[in-house]
Amino acid sequence: MSRRALRKPDPSLDLVPWLATREQLPRPWNAVAVFGRIAPLEVELGSGKGLFLVSAAALRVERNFLGLEVSAKYARHSAARLAKARVGNARVVHGDGLRVFHEVLPDESATAIHVYFPDPWWKARHKKRRVMNEVFLRDAERTLIQGGSLHFWTDVEEYFLAGLQVVAEVTRLSGPHDEPEQAPGHDLDYRTHFERRTRLAGQQVHRAVFYKPA
């Protein structure tokens, strides 16, 4: 499902501290330098328009949220939403999210990891670009705390089944466990814009959650 054109962010918005690049992240990782505090961390790989970051951060103010987005314009869009809403516990990083996991995030640093509607890379020669790959999943398992969760949703059944297979082959994560579909309370009461479009079109969303065992 293709993305729609974005509105340009309000140029008067100051996106500091909501937007950073991968290169600007502290190494070694320092939550205080990024968020101004230490709190349980949830990471979203592929933040898109930022609906999940804005809504989840507002709902769970006791946690920090880090969104990773490879597209500069989508990263700026998400950061602008956070800045406009004055969300203090969420940040967006523009850059290769897989490299952030591999190079920046330390062991047992994340309470939850969210991968929602990643690019399916339809052509056979491009499927190696899928984010649900062996390297990322090993990093996801490494960075999760004991009992931490990995959430994977997609509208592409083939990708869903392939993702479940890779998780089973390269990690010790428990699952897949079902994540029940929730009835929306309002027009934007969805995990992401992709979920909203998919469900309003009457199409199926494939959902799974995995847990890191003790």
Q: Which pLDDT score is estimated for 3?
A: 52
Residue 34 belongs to some domain of the structure: yes
Residue 49 belongs to some domain of the structure: yes
Residue 13 belongs to some domain of the structure: no
143-201 pLDDT tens trace? 999 999 999 999 999 999 999 999 999 999 999 999 999 999 999 888 988 899 999 99
Residue 158 belongs to some domain of the structure: yes
Alpha-carbon 41 to chain mean position: 12
Q: Which pLDDT score is estimated for 172?
A: 98
More confident residue, 2 or 56: 56
Q: Is 119 annotated in the active site?
A: yes
Q: Is 170 exposed, middle or buried (0-12, 13-18, 19+ CB in 10 A)?
A: middle
Alpha-carbon 50 to chain mean position: 9
Residue 6 belongs to some domain of the structure: no
Residue 4 belongs to some domain of the structure: no
CATH of the domain at 191: 3.40.50.150
Residue 7 belongs to some domain of the structure: no
Report helix angle 134-143 to 157-170, nearest 10.
60
Which one of the listed residues 10, 96, 107, 119 is annotated catalytic? 119
Residue 8 belongs to some domain of the structure: no
Q: Which pLDDT score is estimated for 1?
A: 44
Q: Domains in the chain: how many in total?
A: 1
What are residue 190's phi and psi, to 5 degrees? -135, 160
Peptide bond into 17 cis (omega under 30): yes
> Which domain does 113 fall in, by range?
19-211
Alpha-carbon 138 to chain mean position: 16
Q: In the predicted model, what is the mean pLDDT of the chain?
A: 94
The pTM assigned to this predicted structure is 0.94
